[in-house]
Amino acid sequence: MPHAVTRRRAAALVTAALLVPLAACGGNDKENRGKDTKGAATELTVLAAASLTDVFKTAGAAYEKAHPGTEVRFSFAGSQELAAQVRQGAPADALVTADTKTMDGLRADTGKPTVIAKNRLVIAVGKGNPKKVHTLKDLTGPDVKVVLAAAEVPVGRYSEQVLGKQHLTVRPVSQEPNVRAVLSKVELGEADAGIVYRTDAATAPGKVDAITVPDAQNAVADYPAATLKSSRHAADAAAFVKWLGMPEAQRILRKAGFQQP
């Protein structure tokens, strides 16, 4: 009997030792949400269009404050560059592009996209508008140095559309890989004018002026967001994409000049 009791006690101790780590791993879902299996903060990587650079930094900080345990890291570039990164298998969790065409080309790699914002084009000119550019037609002037985004970039494609609708031919001095590069050329005085999004021109007050393009001549840019199927944090990525369409994120986007989706 003493030997049997000893064996039962030993078995009970082994069982208890095995159950302790299991209980620790099976904690409250709310406590574990936003954390990886080691309890460290979950880091989400979001590939985002260059025109979202400023507003997403603000949005990311707001999201982290509202979701302790989650860190959001952004990689900004032209939408066509982001698409190439996705196709090459870059480790990321969500994608936000500046057009639906680019997103639609990645259907095999993303979840169902949702449009989170819209934008419009303006003509960015040097402060004080020294070349007196007031309309799209003024961009055709022989003494006006114009810079545009490349045709494969969403803002470049939109620029071609609006110029084409007006039957205008513009010969840019350079074609840039994203909208921020176009804006930079104007800011630095390397170009007299460039077509950018309204929200981008608003990030350079005191450096550039924005010339409005009438709605009838303009183009509307849609910004779809989607999770990536390769994400290692699928639930957290889906939560972030959903949040972009919610009131707090929408207020941040509106304040930056983006239009309601």
The string of pLDDT tens digits covering residues 163-204 is 999 999 999 999 999 999 999 999 999 999 999 999 999 999
Rounded Cα gap, residues 225 and 261, in angstroms = 12
* Whole-number pLDDT of residue 224: 98
* Whole-number pLDDT of residue 188: 96
Class of CATH domain 29-117+223-255 = alpha beta
pLDDT band of residue 233 (cuts 50, 70, 90) is: very high
The answer to whether 69 and 41 have CB atoms below 8 angstroms apart is: yes
What are the tokens at 152?
A: 């494969």
HSE at residue 206, side-chain half, CA atoms within 13 A, is 0
The string of pLDDT tens digits covering residues 2-54 is 444 444 444 444 334 433 333 333 334 343 455 554 557 899 999 999 999 99
For residue 121, give every residue at least 6 positions away whose Cβ sits within 8 Å of its Cβ, in sequence order, or none.
155, 158, 159, 162, 195, 196, 197, 198, 213, 218, 219, 221
Pairing of strands 42-49, 174-176: unpaired
Q: Provide the CA 230 distance to its chain's centre, in angstroms.
A: 17
Reduce the DSSP state of residue 4 to 3 states and report it: helix
List the beta bridge partners of residue 74.
46
* Whole-number pLDDT of residue 41: 84
Give the pTM. 0.83
In angstroms, the first-to-last Cα distance of the chain is: 77
According to CATH, what is the number of the domain 119-220? 3.40.190.10
Start and end residues for every CATH 3.40.190.10 domain found in the chain: 29-117+223-255, 119-220
What is the share, in percent, of the chain residues with pLDDT greater than 90?
84
Phi and psi at residue 107, to the nearest 5°: -55, -35
* Whole-number pLDDT of residue 215: 95
For residue 171, give every residue at least 6 positions away whose Cβ sits within 8 Å of its Cβ, in sequence order, or none.
146
